[in-house]
Chain A
Amino acid sequence: MRFKEKVIHSFFFLNGVLVVIILLGIFALLVFTSIPAFKEIRLSQFFFSGIWNPDAYVKPAYGIVSMLVSTFLITFGSLVIAIPLGIGTAAYLSDLASPRVREIAKPIVEILAGIPSVVIGFLGIVVVGPVIAKIFGLHNGLNALNGSVLLAIMALPTIISLSEDALKSVPKSFEQASLALGATHWQTLIKVKIPAAFSGIIAACMLGMGRAVGETMTVLMATGCAPAMPQSFLDSVRTFSSTIAIELGEVPYNTTHYYALFAVGLVLFIITFMINMASDIILHQYRKVTK
């Protein structure tokens, strides 16, 4: 009996350790494969130059700034669209919708999260792109704005679902106190419920953002992928993830270019890791306060 107990114990322990080892392994792989890149690329060039042109005959350039700007541009754009829409929907579901509507709508929203990104990318090419091209009078609609719209669609389920949970977990007594003081439902929502659920909502947005930053296929399909410094939302952009996806398949093995792509991956990994970590800390704080 004792023996069996021990076997089970160590089985689950190993499972837990394995996950950590895999994570560390990925990190180590990225780090060690990135290092050789910096034998030829100066760190200052890598981090501060806006020119990414690894295939140049004379002077290959390995600057990630344009990708960094691109990534942040579409992430920022997607959040500007997704946050108000997401919080609004969450507030509707938690406060205004009848129980019937909520029971149907919430699972649908959650299923939205499961739509493959390639399908969303398809949507970007055949629907969002032409619409943007028409509105702004462009030749094509494959640009940062398109990517932002699509990423917003992808981030919405996370933001809606978690924000709704946060709003739902605001104690009923706050709402009652507010209503009893003569506040309207609207005032109660804006001044009591959303502030009380604030950290939960922030965490939801951060997780939504984490998804947007690392998303590859959608962005690859819908943003045009020009490796240049974007001037506006109507320019074609190329993010960290799409650069890796496009180039890694064709790059000669063990060249500076090859290593440089790993370095790009490392930067992306660190960014998403920090976002997820921050949202986790906020969420944790929030659970402590409400308990």
Chain B
Amino acid sequence: MRDSLVKSDLVKIKVENLNFYYTGVKVLKNITIEIKKNLVTGIIGPSGCGKSTFLRTLNRMNDVVLGAKAEGKILIDGKNIYALDVDVVAIRRKVGMVFQKSNPFPKSIFDNVAYGLRINGIKDKNYITQKIEKSLQDAALWKEVKDRLNKSAFDLSGGQQQRLCIARALAVEPQVLLMDEPASALDPTATAKIEELIQRLKEKYTIVIVTHNMQQAARISDHTAFFMQGVIIEHGLTKKIFTKPVNKITEDYITGRFG
């Protein structure tokens, strides 16, 4: 069943010769990769290899960092998001992001999810209410919070907060979902819930997930890219990377000889 899905060949994101600098230091070197539609692409690699930086180039979140500079092309649906005439805000609406540490706003659960809709100028209360229910359901949180939507988001547990952040990202109807180690701060039960959720979400979204956890990458991703020192060492089907890696370094890393 998984193999049939893996054969999906529609390319959602195409990265071509991407170089990325932080105040002159090259942190991503000549990255070229295709990310397929409706699949989960896992990004693995040792700390400081540039995997989070890479993820953040996909929605231009790096733009806010002082002295950050990108060269090359990232095509989403064939359009270069680093082209001069591109509206960064529009890209971020299309490419949602979930962060390593859950970061709900100090607002109610309802207002957290409604935030993305409201900043888009949506005022229709009925629509917002429906959309919130839908997003919370998609994020598998609805049942747990439906009776306390007006309570502070900070009253939720860590895992619930992270699912709330996912719901918040889903509410603006992105096409791509970027996840930066979304389960690294969670306990095993909460992690399992998030992983299950990711499996369901890929039917609708293209997902790119950075993870530090080798088993997690093996469990949830269809494709895996292995980064090291700002370079992609190997990229391909997860099954292949984890069973028959071509590169010796990849093998050493996934078998836990370093990292």
Q: Measuring CB to CB, which residues of chain A are less than 8 angstroms from any residue of chain B? A: 99, 171, 173-174, 176-184, 187, 191-192, 195-196, 289
Contacts and interface: CB of A to CB of B under 8 A. Distances in A.
B99 A187 contact: no
Given A182-B90, A183-B89, A177 B172 contact: no
Contacts of B96: 180-181
A184 B64 CA distance: 11
A177 B105 CA distance: 8
Interface of B: 59, 61, 64, 66, 89-90, 92-93, 96-97, 99, 101, 103-107, 115-116, 118-120, 165, 168-169, 172
Contacts of A187: 119
A182 B172 contact: yes
23 contacts: A99-B66, A173-B101, A173-B103, A176-B64, A176-B103, A177-B103, A177-B104, A178-B115, A178-B119, A179-B92, A180-B61, A180-B92, A180-B169, A181-B169, A181-B172, A183-B89, A183-B119, A184-B119, A191-B115, A192-B105, A192-B115, A196-B106, A289-B106
B153 to A, nearest CB: 11
Contacts of B105: 174, 177-178, 192, 196
Contacts of B107: 195
B186 to A, nearest CB: 16
B12 to A, nearest CB: 18
A187 B97 CA distance: 18
Contacts, number: 65
A176 B92 CA distance: 11
A179 B61 contact: yes
A289 B153 CA distance: 13
Contacts of A181: 92-93, 96, 115-116, 119, 168-169, 172
A11 B116 CA distance: 57
A183 B171 CA distance: 14
Given A181-B168, A181-B172, A182-B90, A176 B99 contact: yes
Contact of B119 (A176, A182, A195): A182
A174 B102 CA distance: 10
A97 to B, nearest CB: 13
A141 B114 CA distance: 50
A180 B179 CA distance: 12
A161 B93 CA distance: 34
A196 B103 CA distance: 13
Contacts of B115: 178, 181, 183, 191-192
Contacts of B168: 177, 181
Contacts of B172: 181-182
